[in-house]
Structure 1
Amino acid sequence: MWQTVSKSRSIIAALAMLPALAACGEPQPGPDRESIDDKAKRIAAETIIIDTHIDVPYRIDQGGWQTVTDRTDGGDFDYFRAVEGGLNAPFMSIYTPAPFGVSTIAKQHAETMIAIVERMAREAPERFRLATSVADVEAAFADGVIALPLGMENGSPIGRDLANLDYFHGRGIRYITLTHSKPNQIADSSYDENKPYDGLSPFGEDMVRRMNTLGIMVDVSHVSDAAFWDVMAITQVPVIASHSSARHFTPGFERNMSDDMIKALADNGGVIMINFGSSFLTEAANTYRSRLAAAYETHLVENGLEASDAVRNAFSARFQEENPYPFAGIDDVLDHIDHVVALTGVETVGIGSDYDGVGDSLPVGLKDVSYYPNLITGLLQRGYSEADIKKILSGNLLRVWRVVEAYAAADTGPAQPDVPAQPEATPQPEAATQPEA
């Protein structure tokens, strides 16, 4: 009896102590202990944050000159929001719309986009600085200046002359997304059923080799699956996917990367930079437009209506009111990061938000460049160490960039493959459109 009572009292006492024991085991904010949000802000402040895809130049080109050194009413990026978010090295996307084709107009457009970034740095040198190397990024960070490296989205401005690669390297381009929403002279696109090369073109193969020797990172975002595997067979250095996500969450969406592709990218030493667009993150958002289109066709048939802009606009407004767009959230971005880490390890993932490139489809909690600390908080809550978070924020991309720089510096091959220049296509541009992410 005594033993039973004593044992019961011991159990009750132990249960009473559980909250105190739990409190002892959990980090509690206090004078000498950071809250998780404060820790996230500290990590953001003391770490180089690289985002490999931000479409500020195209936004400015289409909307007229905006002084992003001040706060802007629209868009996803300006200097003050970048500082709030801890963003130190946003790759400025030198985007050329696919309808420009392979033409002198495409090259001229790229020149215009580069000039926009140069003007940003020239007009506010105390805030922005062009960056063409890892050393430039690190020096800008040390000086408290935002580095502006350049990545070319769509290789059509290269034309059919590899000498243009050398030229744009001299202008500061440090990665090239081989194609965009249509096949070009380099590669097939993931967005187009027309795949004339079944991967890379012969010119594209030579271009990848020359990019290796020059020190320009090869970007496999936007390319077809077959083109990706061609790149993997040719490249001598790691490659990047500057703004892609995991196809595991969006089956059938070729623009995202399959598990096998992510594993091959890891074997290559490369990095997939996660795109923040909701349609890249969830199946519900990815299929939203196709579901709207199908519902519209059904509406026409069931009601015996003729298709027209007025009918479509009225139906779309009603559909969207009854079926609001399913915005992704921070947890969806974190799920993609977790998935890549589970497949390959933390060394294979980074950030390629596509800010100013995916319109209003950004996730709740990551609506502009001031929100990176929210992502860091989420990573901490999921158990990532500070060291691993810093790899995701910039360490992985900087590692790839260093390898690419070292290979180019050590290269002793010919200055340029002996590939005859081919005539440029007749320019037949259509109206420029918002970039397809």
Structure 2
Amino acid sequence: MPAPTPPSDTSDRTSDPLAERIAALLERHPVWDGHNDLAWEAREQVGYDWTALDIGAGTAGRTHTDIPRLRAGGVGAQFWSVYAPSDLPGSAAVTATLEQIDAVRRMVETWPDTFALALTADDVEKAWAAGRIASLLGAEGGQSIDSSLGTLRMLYRLGVRYLTLTHNHNNPWADSATGEPSGHGGLSEFGVEVVREMNRLGMLVDLSHVSAATMGVALDVTEAPVMFSHSSARAVCDVPRNVPDDVLARLGGNGGLCMVTFVPGFVTPEIGAWRAEAAEAARARGVDPASYTGFSAFSKEWEADHPIPHTTLDDVVDHVEHVRDVAGIDHVGLGGDYDGASGFAPGLEDVSGYPNLLAALARRGWSDTDLAKLTSGNMLRVLREAERVAGRLAAERAPSTARLGNA
């Protein structure tokens, strides 16, 4: 009998019970993130050529997201943003959105052992059972439908399962958090019809980016749970993109959820103030702060002479706990906004960082039951309820024929 192999030296290694606990939790309840802009990053970097942006091999230094880091982060479901800038004219925005949908679908087809397109809550659970990352689509901004309910319905048929009612600019029927009030109180009559039709389809109403007035009207109108795909708490960081407490408090009655984002300017008050100063300077220079591309370029220039404050993982934890405390444990989730922002906190630099956040929450006393709701349980419930409502409404009313101006 051969001599046994001597054990390797493990004197400098110690087990980490908390890390093991989080890993076990993520095996059972993987992260379902509300918003990731990898598709737009692929457009900007390589014109959607997935052979040139090989996320299977790893793209550290180029993107926040690739397959090895998604696996390391315990991600089991992702709403991939199919985004078009809100200052694109209508037909161009629709085209850009369609190109984004195509890009995500081709990504799923390129790595079929990793990703599975998901259209329903059942599809998500089937993907998990097969060891794949459920891939859902979320359209970021009402500009993507060009004020057409027919276009909305076609996006649904192509797999879009949420629509963010605005992006950074107002559209003809909804007010943005970063736009001037339009005079129709948040949502116009046609905007109300958009929400009603989304309920009938089973497309989730995403209230990230919208004004507080738009949030309130949408909550008054909707018959299904709403979501905030990537927003944090305004009481913790007072910026327009975050959710006021009175709106968070309504999520319990609505059944929806706020998926806390990790964007530094939305979680760290000092960075929020820095962004506000930069926005004023941009306006003075003739740059629209609501322009994603224009303001991003200006911010880099501004940062050279105005160093940006630091953000921390604990800043994000504070938002998660505030949303839990105000809305309830059943109404909080995670929406990192990776590849749609920069400068994330140490420990949350990319999609591999979710276990660090969960460990920080566990150290604050979160149970596995509550962590499981945060990672994916709440989002799974919300999508199932939206599907249930859609089943009822589809039997009660026909597709809306409303048009902008005659809703």
Task: Give the TM interval when normalised to the shorter protein.
Answer: 0.7 to 0.9
Q: 1:283 to 1:417 in 2, by over 3 A?
A: same
1:82 maps to what in 2?
A: 70
Q: Is 1:169 equivalent to 2:156 in the alignment?
A: yes
2:391 maps to what in 1?
A: 409
**Counterpart pick for 1:365 among 333, 347, 358:** 347
Q: 1:419 to 1:379 in 2, by over 3 A?
A: same
The offset of 1:45, in angstroms, is 2.6
Alignment of 1:107-126 (within 5 A): 107-126=94-113
Q: Which amino acid aligns with 1:268?
A: N
C-alpha distance in 1, partners of 2:247/2:299?
Answer: 39
Q: Which amino acid aligns with 2:166?
A: T
The offset of 1:295, in angstroms, is 9.1
**Counterpart pick for 1:259 among 239, 242, 245:** 245
Q: Is 1:146 equivalent to 2:128 in the alignment?
A: no
**Counterpart pick for 1:390 among 372, 393, 396:** 372
User: CA deviation digits over 1:153-179, x for unaligned, max 9?
Assistant: 012121232111211110000000001
Pick which of 62-71 and 125-134 moved more: 62-71
Identity value in percent: 36
Alignment of 1:201-220 (within 5 A): 201-220=188-207
2:57 maps to what in 1?
A: 70
Does the aligned pair in 1 maintain the 2:73–2:353 contact within 8 Å?
yes
The offset of 1:34, in angstroms, is 6.2
2:291 maps to what in 1?
A: none
User: CA deviation digits over 1:14-55, x for unaligned, max 9?
Assistant: xxxxxxxxxxxxxxxx99x96112211221233121001000
User: CA deviation digits over 1:377-398, x for unaligned, max 9?
Assistant: 0111010100100000011111
The offset of 1:142, in angstroms, is 0.8
**Counterpart pick for 1:270 among 245, 252, 256:** 256
User: CA deviation digits over 1:72-116, x for unaligned, max 9?
Assistant: 131110011000111011110011101113x22111111100000
Q: Is 1:235 equivalent to 2:218 in the alignment?
A: no
The offset of 1:292, in angstroms, is 5.7
Q: Secondary structure at the match of 2:311?
A: coil
Does the aligned pair in 2 maintain the 1:189–1:195 contact within 8 Å?
no
Q: Secondary structure at the match of 1:69?
A: coil
1:378 maps to what in 2?
A: 360
**Counterpart pick for 1:58 among 40, 43, 66:** 40
C-alpha distance in 1, partners of 2:139/2:300?
Answer: 38
Q: 1:162 to 1:357 in 2, by over 3 A?
A: same
User: CA deviation digits over 1:392-412, x for unaligned, max 9?
Assistant: 001111111100001112221
Q: Secondary structure at the match of 2:177?
A: coil
Pick which of 46-55 and 64-73 moved more: 64-73
Q: Secondary structure at the match of 2:43?
A: helix
1:279 maps to what in 2?
A: 265
Alignment of 1:170-185 (within 5 A): 170-185=157-172
Does the aligned pair in 1 maintain the 2:163–2:205 contact within 8 Å?
yes
Q: Secondary structure at the match of 2:81?
A: strand
Does the aligned pair in 1 maintain the 2:35–2:229 contact within 8 Å?
yes
Give TM-score, length-normalised by structure 1: 0.81
Q: What are the ranges of 5 or more consecutive residues in structure 2 without an aligned counterpart?
A: 1-12, 284-297
Does the aligned pair in 2 maintain the 1:161–1:422 contact within 8 Å?
no
Q: 1:67 to 1:296 in 2, by over 3 A?
A: closer
The offset of 1:291, in angstroms, is 4.1
Does the aligned pair in 2 maintain the 1:179–1:186 contact within 8 Å?
no
Does the aligned pair in 2 maintain the 1:159–1:185 contact within 8 Å?
no
C-alpha distance in 2, partners of 1:331/1:122?
Answer: 37
Does the aligned pair in 2 maintain the 1:259–1:343 contact within 8 Å?
yes
The offset of 1:296, in angstroms, is 11
Larger Rg: 1
Q: 1:195 to 1:383 in 2, by over 3 A?
A: same
Q: Secondary structure at the match of 2:69?
A: helix
Q: Is 1:95 equivalent to 2:83 in the alignment?
A: yes
Q: 1:314 to 1:166 in 2, by over 3 A?
A: closer
C-alpha distance in 2, partners of 1:294/1:178?
Answer: 25
Does the aligned pair in 1 maintain the 2:36–2:338 contact within 8 Å?
yes
**Counterpart pick for 1:356 among 339, 353, 366:** 339
2:3 maps to what in 1?
A: none
Runs (4+) of structure 1 exceeding 6 A deviation are 293-297, 312-315
Give TM-score, length-normalised by structure 2: 0.87
Q: Secondary structure at the match of 2:346?
A: coil
Q: 1:200 to 1:79 in 2, by over 3 A?
A: same
Q: Which amino acid aligns with 1:78?
A: D
Q: Which amino acid aligns with 1:279?
A: G
Q: Which amino acid aligns with 1:413?
A: E
Question: For the aligned residues, what is the CA RMSD?
Answer: 2.5
Q: 1:198 to 1:83 in 2, by over 3 A?
A: same
